[in-house]
């Protein structure tokens, strides 16, 4: 129920930084999410080499937000390095955008995850105002999963009520303020955790602490 966000800090050797963390926590996490900082630092092919250290779901978080044909071009490149899932923004809408991406994902066997709300405060300025429309795009696309904020549990509960079948992935745990396990209790399937683990003196110990907190909270809320 823990997905690691692997975002290397600026100025480090991003490949060895990532490899060290992968070796420490690769067997503990249920998936890994990579994004632009890592891809820009080491390039897509080496991201592929790195991902082979991880078991579980491998998510490319380039937050795709373009016309459908161009998102499909990006998707094809990501699929070629063994990515299992891609994250795109729902706000680009269904027709000519998410519809095409969703079909190509299905052809390539890649899971589609759509952002319907975000963990930073500004999400309530725009995205949360139109959350029903964003959720509707996810529903029409039959998206495998959606991103919702661990920092606003009422939003997680709402998304769960609207999308009973979709996986809900929640970032915002740790540095952004949410506690491990709370989003799971609100209906999420996975918590995405980055710096709390990756910037820790002992990433392994921190990952184990997150897992233990998740287990304890779930034991209470799912009783």
Interaction site with ligand BMP (CB under 6 A): 5, 7, 35, 61, 118-119, 147, 149, 171-172, 174-176, 192-196
Q: Is 167 a catalytic residue?
A: no
CB of 28 to ligand BMP, least distance (A): 16
Beta-sheet pairing, 145-147 with 167-171: parallel
Q: Which residues pair with 87 in a beta bridge?
A: 113
Could you tell me which of 169, 189, 156, 175 has the C-alpha nearest to residue 59?
169
Query: How is residue 163 written in tokens?
Result: 């999308």
Backbone angles phi, psi at 77, to 5 degrees: -65, -40
Q: Given 33, 63, 111, 133, which residue is catalytic? A: 63
CB of 223 to ligand BMP, least distance (A): 28
Rounded CA-CA distance 210/174 in Å is 9
The count of residues in the chain is: 223
Place of tokens 């907190």: 213
**Cβ proximity to ligand BMP, 102 vs 123, nearer residue:** 123
**Cβ proximity to ligand BMP, 7 vs 41, nearer residue:** 7
CB of 34 to ligand BMP, least distance (A): 9
Rounded CA-CA distance 22/160 in Å is 31
CB of 27 to ligand BMP, least distance (A): 20
**Cβ proximity to ligand BMP, 38 vs 72, nearer residue:** 38
**Cβ proximity to ligand BMP, 4 vs 79, nearer residue:** 4
**Contact between 183 and 156 (Cβ < 8 Å):** yes
What amino acid positions are annotated as catalytic residues?
Answer: 63
């Amino acid at each position: 129920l823990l997905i690691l966000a692997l975002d290397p800090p600026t100025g480090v050797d991003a490949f060895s930084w990532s490899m060290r963390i992968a070796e420490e926590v690769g067997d503990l996490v249920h998936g890994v999410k990579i994004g632009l900082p890592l891809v820009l630092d080491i390039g897509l092919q080496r991201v592929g080499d790195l991902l082979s250290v991880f078991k579980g779901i491998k998510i490319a978080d380039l937050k795709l937000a373009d016309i459908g044909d161009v998102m499909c071009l990006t998707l094809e490149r990501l699929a070629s390095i063994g990515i299992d899932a891609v994250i795109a923004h729902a706000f680009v809408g269904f027709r000519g955008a998410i519809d095409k991406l969703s079909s190509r994902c299905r052809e390539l066997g890649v899971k589609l995850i759509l952002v319907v709300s975000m963990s930073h405060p500004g999400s309530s300025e725009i995205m949360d105002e139109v959350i029903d429309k964003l959720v509707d795009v996810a529903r029409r696309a039959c998206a495998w999963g959606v991103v919702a904020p661990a920092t606003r549990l009422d939003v997680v509960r709402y998304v769960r009520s609207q999308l009973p079948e979709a996986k809900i992935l929640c970032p915002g745990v740790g540095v952004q303020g949410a506690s491990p396990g709370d989003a799971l209790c609100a209906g999420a399937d996975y918590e995405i955790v980055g710096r709390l683990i990756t910037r820790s003196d002992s990433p392994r110990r921190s990952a184990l602490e997150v897992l233990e907190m998740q287990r304890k909270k779930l034991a209470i809320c799912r009783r």
